[in-house]
Chains A and B, each alone.
Chain A
C-alpha cells in the first residue's frame, strides 16, 4: 500500500513539474519548502471538485458557505471580544476560566473545532503558549483558521522544547522568573490565552479594549500593547 501510495504521490509531483501552467512566484529555498506549491494544484483541485459535484457527492453551495464563514465571519475579532469582556467584567472572566464553552457561547461563539474550549490566563508570573505538535489544532470559533507559521514544522517542533527561543523570534523576551506554560493540543480541547490587560487602559470601553487584542497575543506568542499598533 505504501509503495502504491509513494508511486502515486511521486507521479503527482512529476506531473506538477511537467505542467505548462505559469510557475508560481514562490521561492523554493529549503526554508520555504513548506510554502512551495506546485503550480497545477489549482487545476487538480478544480477537477476533483467537478467530479464530486458531477457524482452528486458534493453541493457547491455548501462549499461556498464554509469558505465564506472562515474568510469573512469567523476570525480573531471573535476572540478579541471574549478577551475584552473578560478584562471588563471580573465575573465573566471567572466564568471564562472555569467553563470556557459556556462563557464563549454567551457572546454567540462556538462550534467546529471549538467544541471543547479551555482558557488559560497570563499573569505577571506565568506566560502561556499554545501549540499542536501533532497536527495543527487551533480554536477556530474564536481565532479563525490558523496562520501558516502555526501549522509549520519550525513552530510545531520548537514550541515545546524551546518556547523562550520561539517567543524571542516573535520579539517577546520573558524574564527568567516568569514561568512559561506550553499547552500542546494533543486531544480535542482547544486553547485560548487570556493575555494580561495592558496598563493605562482603565478608561477604555470594551470595544476599544477588543481593538487592542491581537491573534498572536491569544496564541501566546505576543503580549497586548497598550496602544493599537505599538509593539509590546
Chain B
C-alpha cells in the first residue's frame, strides 16, 4: 500500500536525533510489548508479513505521531481481536469473558530461548528457476498494490542492475494476505543514485534494494 510507512525519499521529517548511551528499552512497557508480540506469534496464527501489514494499517497521522513501540502496540491489539484471541469487549475491559476457555501458553521460556537462537527463517529450500542473472539490467515494476508490498515507491519504474541472487524466499505480497508463500528468488538490485533522484545525487553513489522476482521485469 502507498502508506506513510514507505518513507524513502520523503522530506520534512526533521533532524536525526542520536541519544548517547541509549537504553534498549526506554520504559518497561516497551519491553513487555516487544515480548508479548513474540509470545503471541508463537501461536502461528500470523506471519511476519501479516504483522508488518498491520502496522502499515495504523492511520498515517497516528503512525507519525506514535513511537515505534506505540505503533507495535496499536497493531498488536488489533491483531489480537482480528485473529480471535480476544473479543473487543475483553480488550476494552481487560477481563476475560466468563465463557473464555483457559489455554496453555504457546511460548514457554525454553521455546523462547530457541526462538531467539534459531529465529524464523523465511528462505525456502525449493527449486525455483531465477528469472534474472547477476549483471542483468532490469526495471522495477511500476505497481501500486493496495495490500502489502516490500517494493518501495522510490524504486518503482526505475532501472537497475542485478547485483546478487540471495536465493529463494517467501513472497510478502501474498504471504501477508494468507494467499500462499509463493517462494521465489530475491535479488540485491543496484540502482544508481541519479537514476532514483536525478542530478542532485552524487554521480557514483547507489542504493541497493532487495527485490523479489515478481517486482522485476527484463529490459
Contact = CB atoms under 8 A, between A and B. Distances in A.
Interface of A: 2, 5-6, 9, 12-13, 30-38, 41-42, 44-52, 54-59, 61-67, 69-71, 74-75, 110-116, 118, 131, 133-136, 141, 144-145, 147-149, 151-161, 163-164, 166, 169-170, 176-177, 179-189
Contacts, number: 302
B13 A157 contact: yes
Contact of A33 (B57, B65, B121, B208): B65
A232 B122 CA distance: 37
Given A5-B57, A34-B67, A115-B120, A158 B13 contact: yes
Given A31-B17, A48-B36, A71-B25, A9 B94 contact: no
B197 A47 contact: no
Contacts of A51: 86, 90-91, 94-96
B34 A67 contact: yes
B129 interface: no
Contacts of A189: 166, 186, 188, 210
- Name the residue among B19, B103, B197, B210 with the largest chain A CB count within 10 angstroms: B210
Contacts of B13: 152-154, 156-158
B24 interface: yes
Contact of A180 (B67, B108, B111, B205): B205
Contacts of A12: 74
A66 B112 CA distance: 7
Given A48-B77, A110-B117, A187-B169, A62 B111 contact: yes
A147 B19 contact: yes
Interface string B120-154: 11110000000000000000000000000011101
B213 to A, nearest CB: 11
A181 B96 contact: no
A186 B19 contact: no
Interface in B71-103: 73-74, 77-78, 80, 85-86, 90-91, 94-96, 100, 102-103
B119 interface: yes
Given A74-B116, A111-B116, A153-B14, 10 more contacts: A34-B67, A37-B27, A37-B70, A51-B94, A57-B85, A75-B24, A157-B10, A181-B207, A183-B207, A184-B210
Nearest to A45: B29
Contact of B115 (A33, A112, A187): A112
A112 B119 contact: yes
A133 B78 CA distance: 24
Given A57-B105, A62-B108, A156-B7, A188 B18 contact: no
By Cβ-Cβ distance, the 9 closest A-B pairs, closest first, are: A133-B8, A187-B210, A59-B105, A56-B103, A63-B35, A45-B29, A153-B13, A157-B10, A66-B35
B121 A115 contact: yes
Interface in B22-52: 22, 24-29, 31-36, 38-40, 43, 48, 52
A113 B31 contact: no
A51 B179 CA distance: 31
Contacts of A34: 64-68
Contact of A55 (B96, B115, B209): B96
A9 B186 contact: no
A47 B207 contact: no
A57 B16 contact: no
Given A116-B123, A186-B151, A63 B5 contact: no
A3 to B, nearest CB: 10
Contacts of B201: 161
Contact of B39 (A47, A66, A141): A66
17 contacts: A5-B78, A30-B14, A46-B32, A52-B39, A55-B103, A58-B39, A74-B116, A110-B118, A118-B188, A133-B8, A148-B17, A156-B7, A157-B13, A161-B154, A169-B16, A180-B204, A187-B211
